[in-house]
Amino acid sequence: MRITLSFCAISLFAATASAAPTTWNLATGYRAESFHTENLAQFAREVDAKTKGGLTIQLHPNNSLIKLGDMLVAVERGRVQAGESILSGISKELPIAGVDSIPFVVDNYADAQRLWRLQRPVLERQLAARGLVLLYAVPWPPQGLYSSRPIRGAADFKGTRMRTYNAATVRIAEMLGASPVDVPMPQVGAAFAQRRIDNMITSAVTGVENQVWNHLHYYYELNAWFPKNMVYVNAGAWQQLRLDERAAVQSAAQAAEARGWSRSEELAREAAARLRAQGMVVDRVPEDFERHLKRLGERFTREWIHQVGHQANDVFIPYFTEPRLTARAP
């Protein structure tokens, strides 16, 4: 009888221990006020509700726990259970993540979602090989063109100076005949005021945050690329969850992805309206110039496929052969 009672006590202790709440630390390099971070906070609340407190996610924004550049390795090594990275920032470690930074391929949010649908399974395989599990991804508002003068075609860039911040923007400037000038975003206002730069590619939201209307008059909605942030978790931490808890996290992740894409598009519209309200001309570039940019995009794509190899074909062969939207984005 004593043995039976002892066994029951051990079994009860094991069952209680297995039901103990789990806590994840989720780190991001972005500010708490960023719409990505706000989305993460809602995701964490929904996970807590769906698991009835079985999984609590503690959010650490603004590089407070892990620096953005260290995030992938930190999650991979289990220093933190989950993290958020911008895909273009980890393309050296995960080549397929570089799809996000190829310019002039995607024209609108619908095509950006289609590209993500094709990119996701390839990215998931690369993450799995590093012991990581993808939860969801959400784009920043797309990149547009700011200019101090009207732009009708590539010839209008001759002799101008374009603000650049990575290898891709340097190449775009050179292909368009502009001189690349490396300027950090906090210094952009002064650079325009001092006429050290004449144009730049960044989002409407970034333009609003930096009040570029004090120095610029034109914003063109190129939708040059849609950079995405990815949220992911250490595979060991994932495996420790019960099956019902994993299902709850996946459900909350799907909701966060849908909500994030919708909010990104909403912010893009709001920012463009704010630029107009401040007296800026907000427009699309002429169709001839848009076709020229698409040809540049095809060139960037060929170079990227050559660099990445056959995995790139898993994304781009269906992307360019499936039916797509042909109308110009508003």
Per-residue pLDDT of 16-40, as tens digits, reads 445 689 999 999 999 999 999 999 9
101 found inside a domain: no
Tell me: do 211 and 238 sit in the same domain: no
Is 97 inside any structural domain?
A: no
Q: pLDDT tens, 79-103?
A: 999 999 999 999 999 999 999 989 9
| Pair (126, 197) in one structural domain | no
Of the candidates 189, 197, 225, the one whose C-alpha atom is nearest the C-alpha of residue 109 is: 225
* Segments forming the whole domain that contains residue 41: 21-90+108-140+226-272
Do residues 210 and 310 share a domain? yes
CA dihedral 39, 43, 46, 51 (to 10 degrees): -170
- Whether 254 and 118 map to the same domain: the answer is yes
Residues 189 and 246 in one domain: no
Same domain, 161 and 299: yes
How many whole angstroms separate alpha carbon 147 and alpha carbon 215? 9
Q: Examine the domain organization and report whether 81 and 151 are in the same domain.
A: no
Q: Are residues 44 and 190 in the same domain?
A: no
Range list of β-strands (E), the chain: 22-27, 55-60, 82-86, 132-139, 143-147, 161-164, 179-182, 199-203, 218-220, 228-234, 281-283
Rg (CA), the chain: 23
Same domain membership, residue 147 and residue 67:
no
Instruction: Tell me which residue of 220, 83, 41, 205 sits closest to 139, measured CA to CA.
Output: 205
> 172 and 66, same structural domain?
no
pLDDT in tens, 230-272: 999 999 999 999 999 999 999 999 999 999 999 999 999 999 9
Q: What CATH number corresponds to the domain at position 313?
A: 3.40.190.170
Return d(Cα 9, Cα 21) in angstroms, integer. Answer: 20
